[in-house]
Homo-oligomer: A and B are copies of this chain.
């Protein structure tokens, strides 16, 4: 192609823990294709998401901005019209941004109506889809209850299953996410007791292979311009159930002991306690749940690995591996019973740290292939990385992340960040109701550097962990007088971060610097007493007879 820029394949998994890959050290789970990609590129060992929950985390990936900046702080909170997305930046640089899979983005319908934006226009469709052009949008959450579907949008994957002959209204659930019991009735994947059964679907029709094929179709289609393809899988996210043969690849013997200790249950932080005590926390405290769920979770990851292998082979066969930057990551982790918790939401490493591998085919990245980078990285860095890869300058008055390309190319900028920030809005959860916390106060902020992790909870005492001496994060030092200086340092970092001018997005730093010395050239003359104070050129319009032209 004439345009020498690489295409970008930006692969996201959902709820994939950082330590459930071969290359990140899992003792039983072998992931040769993830490991191959890590050998081809750089693996980041300290990559944190901006919020350990799907929607908020993804809006940060897709805007390059903190949750505190874009405001879509929980699932289903619309990304407000006006937020500038990765797609906006890339298109401006001459690249397309195409979605295959999940974004968990909710449209700001009020905002679109206020601005008269219609979804059937090109611009309106992009605003409604988080800046992407759709190849396929499917969030993979086709739950349906007494109030109807959780997701009211089109159901392309269900349509596919129906076209393949799977009966009923919701084959996503009935086949892809349910097994059969002894009576031939559904054994729903929503019931974790069924996690060891095989999903009642041909493996090739299950969600991960389906979405891989959709990505291949996009890649093989005709392209006018270089592209970023966001291939975004729902798995290994719950429901925890996987088709054969993956359902039987792992068993209770492969389940690692839960990372938790009794000390965590003695005088826990009130917010942490509320999460431990909720239905999910209590479920994952039961060993039977872990024994059922974790092998299925591993099977789902193994299937993801096989599909990644397929995709790498597909690119290789097409001769595109040298022309495609590939990034794999996840939107957050999964506690799986660690710290007496299930799901994600809070800030232990199992929840807030994600796997991140960046394969940059450029020769400049040859020296770092197969290496691990332990710099502090945030999910907002990817938007900046992609913009730089597209050949544009990162508009750092809008995008708050930093490009990873220098790190991928073996250069660590001297002013690389000292700490990362992650946030969680528990306002919409039952835990906020139980704790009596108002929606605008139900906020948690994590500040972490290479040693310390500090959690600020509005209205409650802070938490503090020493990742060096206590890597399992068992000892909360938030109330320890001997660590008051560290807590104060972290609080000061949080305060400085919170004051950042995140909304000053209509003037760049360079434009502002240029304003510092231009006084008077458009005729605004302040502080001038008489002629002695000013260059006569600046006052020529204001001399002579009045009304002369």
Contacts and interface: CB of A to CB of B under 8 A. Distances in A.
A362 to B, nearest CB: 30
Contacts of A123: 114-116
Interface string A443-463: 101000000000010100000
Interface stretch (A39-47, A247-255, A513-521): A513-521
Given A439-B513, A506-B110, A499 B68 contact: yes
B443 A147 contact: no
Given A504-B425, A542-B173, A549 B145 contact: no
Contact of A512 (B80, B116, B168, B439): B439
Number of copies: 2
Contacts of A82: 80-83, 111, 115
B539 A77 contact: no
Nearest to A527: B280
Nearest to A525: B190
Contacts of A538: 145-146
A355 interface: no
A117 interface: yes
Nearest to A538: B145
A546 B146 contact: no
A71 interface: yes
B504 A191 contact: no
Contacts of A428: 512, 515-516
- Which applies to chain A's interface (DSSP): helix, strand, loop or mixed? loop
A533 interface: yes
A255 B35 CA distance: 79
A78 B494 CA distance: 28
Contacts of A397: 440
A407 B544 CA distance: 54
A322 interface: no
Given A166-B547, A501-B425, A547-B171, A192 B529 contact: yes
Interface in A171-221: 171, 173-175, 178, 180, 184-186, 188, 190-193, 200
A145 B523 contact: yes
Contacts of A77: 504, 506-507
B286 A529 contact: yes
A82 to B, nearest CB: 2
Nearest to A169: B549
A412 interface: no
Interface residues of A, number: 134
A72 interface: yes
A58 interface: no
B145 A530 contact: no
A538 B507 CA distance: 51
Contact of A116 (B73, B121, B188, B498): B121
A540 to B, nearest CB: 8
A235 B495 CA distance: 38
Interface string A394-420: 000100000000000000000000000
B443 A501 contact: yes
Interface string A87-109: 01000000000000000000010
A256 interface: no
Contact of A521 (B147, B517, B540): B147
Nearest to A396: B440
A115 B142 CA distance: 31
B501 A283 contact: no
A188 B498 CA distance: 45
A68 B501 contact: yes
Given A70-B503, A522-B150, A538-B145, A186 B495 contact: no
Contacts of A121: 116
Contacts of A238: 526
A432 interface: yes
Contacts of A516: 428-430, 432-433
Nearest to A194: B530
Contacts of A124: 116
Contact of A115 (B81, B429, B439, B523): B81
A531 interface: yes
A498 B169 CA distance: 48
Contacts of A512: 74, 427-428, 439
Contacts of A191: 528-531, 539
A545 B143 contact: no
A17 to B, nearest CB: 17
A543 interface: yes
A437 to B, nearest CB: 10
Contacts of A146: 521, 537-538, 540
Contacts of A507: 74, 76-78
A110 B502 CA distance: 18
Contact of A522 (B81, B147, B283, B427): B147
6 contacts: A81-B115, A150-B523, A167-B549, A185-B546, A428-B516, A495-B498
Instruction: Name the 3 nearest CB pairs between A and B, nearest first.
Output: A82-B82, A71-B503, A143-B523
